[in-house]
């Protein structure tokens, strides 16, 4: 499929798809006329990339682990092939995610407490 079709199927603008290619995250074939040609797996790859970016991973991190992912639930990297560098990158990211979760939980609790106090004083639901 061409880049426009991939964009329509994934909801990702063509400009971002070209950026993913520049970042070595996508690897389309090139037709004789120079157009990009993506296989069916590119849809899953783009969805995977979007999910990883949304979780806060950088394109550099994604480039490191993307070859070992076959979907959101499965990692195909055998433990004996996990380099110390990749492990450190992933551990640091897990720590950042946990810090964000902790911060969000604190903010949720503060806002809930505030709403409970305001509703209790004002007698509102």
Residue 125 has pLDDT above 80, yes or no: no
pTM of the predicted structure, to 2 decimals: 0.67
- In terms of Cα–Cα distance, which of 60, 69, 68, 17 is closest to 38? 17
Contact 10, 38 (CB under 8 A): no
What percentage of the chain reaches a pLDDT higher than 90? 48
What is the rounded average pLDDT of the residues 78-96?
Answer: 82
pLDDT per residue as tens digits for the range 28-66: 998 888 888 999 989 989 998 998 898 888 898 888 878
So what's the pLDDT on residue 71?
A: 57
Chain mean position to CA 122? 43
| pLDDT band for position 111 (cuts 50, 70, 90) | very high
Neighbours of 84 (CB within 10 A): 7
Residue 88 pLDDT: 87
Give the per-residue pLDDT at 21.
95
Contact in structure between 28 and 61 (CB atoms under 8 Å): no
């Amino acid at each position: 499929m061409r880049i426009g079709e991939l964009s329509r199927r994934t909801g990702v603008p063509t400009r971002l798809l070209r950026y993913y290619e520049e970042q070595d995250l996508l690897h389309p074939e090139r037709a004789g006329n120079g157009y990009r040609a993506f296989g069916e797996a590119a849809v899953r790859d783009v969805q995977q990339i979007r999910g990883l970016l949304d979780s806060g991973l950088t394109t550099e991190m994604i480039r490191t682990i993307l070859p070992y992912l076959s979907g959101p639930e499965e990692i195909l990297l055998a433990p004996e092939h996990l380099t110390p560098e990749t492990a450190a990158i992933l551990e640091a990211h897990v720590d950042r995610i946990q810090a964000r979760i902790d911060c969000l939980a604190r903010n949720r609790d503060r806002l809930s407490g505030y709403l409970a106090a305001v509703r209790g004083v004002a007698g509102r639901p």
